[in-house]
Chain A
Amino acid sequence: MNLPIYASTGQKVWYYSFRVICGLIFFFLIAPILIIIPLSFNATDFFTFTPEMLRLQPEGYSLKHYQDFFTNNDWQNAMRNSLKIAPVATLIAVVLGTVAAIGLSQSHVPFRRAIMATLISPMIVPLIISATGMYFFYARLGNYMVDSLGMNANIVEYIKIVLAHAALGIPFVIITVTATLVGFDRSLTRAAASMGAGPVRTFFKVQMPLIIPGVISGALFAFITSFDEVVVVMFVGSAKNKTLPWQMFTGLREQISPTILAVATILVVLSVMLLVTLELLRRRSERLRGMSPG
């Protein structure tokens, strides 16, 4: 990769210009995300750097957009709704997904390809189509639950969104958990069984600790899918269930308020935390695999 000493001028020019080009592409990737962070501390309601901000004067900066986010009822409701929906959807996706991934990784599974394709499909089908399909079907399902089962309309709304989001998160759990199971040494479960452990005990004591990194990263994917999802929730839910991305979407479409930048910054911090967690998990997983004899 390093430039050899015998490189010609042309090669040197290309070597350095290639680095510059790559630098520019990296800049294109990361700059839009980073630039909203200082902008969110803007003391005015503009979406650009004011002269005060450029001169780094403290008057140019303020936390007022953050204050607005934490005091405004719309935003707080949206935040609460998001936090109510995403964890439950994630839980459903992870429990069902992990069990199914273990089933799928057995050596003899009939119709494996077809089953896999079905389970992954929520990830492939464009969101707008999933949303359209769910819009029609869930409306009827909801009416049935309210009219025939006599359930509370608010709870039904909530259940509808959670089910839809769980379906969207499942492919990610399946993919990450099956990927971890590929490196799983099957003789370990046999060893556990030969020592008298039942299937449940084997699962929790032997298999689970080894595949936990895959399960957690699948869970993170499922969580972020639900937390970040806006199309399906707009079609399936009602205004009462407005989530954070939905609120952002309306804000961006109607009158864009600088509070969005504060929310965006908070979400960027959240994704940095996710990224770090995933990296730590990956390292742990690699370390564990290095130790296992398979």
Chain B
Amino acid sequence: MEQIQTLNGVPLKKQIARALFKQKMRALLLIAPLLIFILITFVIPITDMLLRSIDNSIVSETLPQTTASLETWDPKAAQLPDEATYLALYNDLKLAIEQKNHTKLGTRLNYESSGMSSLFRKVGKDVSKMQASVSYKEQFLAADKAWGDLKTWNLLKLYSPEYTTGYFLAALDMKKTPDGIEMLPESDRIYLNLFARTIFMSIVITALCLLLGYPIAWLLANLPMRTSNLLMILVLLPFWTSLLVRTSAWKVLLQQQGVINDILVWLGVITNAGRLELINNQLGTLIAMTHILLPFMILPLYSVMRTIPPSYMRAAKSLGATDWTAFWRVYFPQTIAGIGAGAILTFILAIGYYITPELVGGTQGTFISNRIAYHISSSLNWGMAAALGTILLTLVLVLYWVYDRIVGIDKVKLG
């Protein structure tokens, strides 16, 4: 078969492919600056955080000789390491103390076992007094009996590798021991409860938003355009109002001396002495977050409901369905897509919220994000913050993927 050729003698197929390639390159060229920008300012920082959650180089960097020497030591034999290991420890510590790194290492190991921080702070003074003429092993044992404790050496060996799952285990209330991974005792478990609470409260918030948002979306979708546009303002104004404004409004309203309690006292529902505690607990978080996230539920529901022709309901009714049957069997199934979109969006936003729980949640109404912030700014346990963040991120990304499947990320509408 003869090939179709363009005027300048090139086969048409080739010419089209060339044109297509040029077009693709032009598109990529337009996207490239932004993509690079996002990679540098956003994606790399996030990846950096992910790596930090498993990074454990501080142990082997501060005690290089010791960790090397411990490689051949068998914790199962239940014997203390040999003299050579103690010599290595002495050499490592001497260098570390000069560079003032030993306390940092102590802080790091203290996350795994309490008492390590003070042990390493103390060793700074002990090492300077040690002499080469006597066995280092004996000198260390004399300085602090923790150096003669198998637990200390087990810990050092467990955390010698450059990468660790330690932070992740701790984030799931588990602990590494020489015999494998164990759950922490019931009384020390905090994170699993916190994750459970975050997820549970996000579900409750999503359900409340759905309960309140569904009627509103229905009303807006079925009223005449002019009225519904007007009522839409009542949804969009909160949506556009600063998050902190809305949170401060709730903080002011829900206080014990606030407007809501005042009204209730005035109405005689409660006595002046029995003012309700509406804030600094879970209730406060639930109320404020439902209010803040409600527009995110209403808008996707509304955009789906707009497309449902009212004649379907009328047809169902003319065929003898009661109002309820017509709604439940005909209308409701068509809104499932909107419910899915709204619910996932609300849930994703709720689960990662920080500001509102921090301000109105007290101690019982806070989320996992508040714990992450605490580890970054107060306890300075950055590895832990990174591990908790990674778990939360994974959760959100799975939901994001589901959202993309159901709705399509490029179909997100704003306002």
Instruction: Tell whether A pairs with B.
Output: yes
A interface residue numbers (CB < 8 A to B) = 1, 11, 14, 18, 21-22, 25-26, 28-30, 32-33, 35-36, 39, 46-49, 92, 96-97, 99-100, 102-104, 106-110, 115-122, 124-138, 163-164, 166-167, 170, 172, 175-176, 178-179, 217, 221, 224, 227-228, 230-231, 235, 245, 248-249, 252-253, 256, 260-261, 264, 267-268, 271-272, 274-275, 278, 282
16 further contact pairs, Cβ within 8 A, besides A29-B294, A100-B33, A136-B48: A25-B216, A32-B291, A36-B252, A47-B258, A100-B34, A109-B31, A120-B412, A129-B352, A137-B44, A170-B38, A175-B413, A260-B248, A264-B242, A264-B244, A271-B240, A272-B237
* Complex alpha-carbon distance, A272 and B245, angstroms: 13
Distance in Å: Cβ of B298 to nearest Cβ of chain A: 9
Q: Identify the interface centre among A11, A96, A103, A115: most chain B CB within 10 Å of its CB.
A: A103
Dominant secondary structure of chain A at its interface with chain B: helix
Distance in Å: Cβ of A183 to nearest Cβ of chain B: 14
Chain A residues, Cβ within 8 Å of B234: 26, 29-30
Give how many A-B residue pairs fall within 8 Å (CB-CB).
265
Chain A residue at minimum C-beta to C-beta distance from B46: A133
24 A-B residue pairs with CB within 8 Å: A29-B291, A30-B234, A33-B238, A33-B241, A47-B255, A48-B259, A100-B34, A102-B30, A106-B23, A117-B404, A122-B42, A124-B397, A128-B389, A129-B49, A136-B386, A138-B45, A166-B37, A167-B41, A221-B414, A228-B243, A235-B376, A248-B244, A272-B237, A274-B240
Chain B residues, Cβ within 8 Å of A107: 23
Within 8 A of A (CB), among B215-243: 215-216, 219, 222-224, 231, 233-238, 240-243
In the complex, the answer to whether A103 meets B409 with C-beta atoms within 8 Å is no
* Complex alpha-carbon distance, A163 and B47, angstroms: 17
Contact of B242 among A18, A125, A228 (CB under 8 A): A228
Chain A residues, Cβ within 8 Å of B41: 134, 163-164, 166-167
Chain A residues, Cβ within 8 Å of B39: 118
Dominant secondary structure of chain B at its interface with chain A: helix
Count of residues in B whose CB is under 8 Å from the partner chain: 92
Contact of A264 among B42, B219, B245, B359 (CB under 8 A): B245
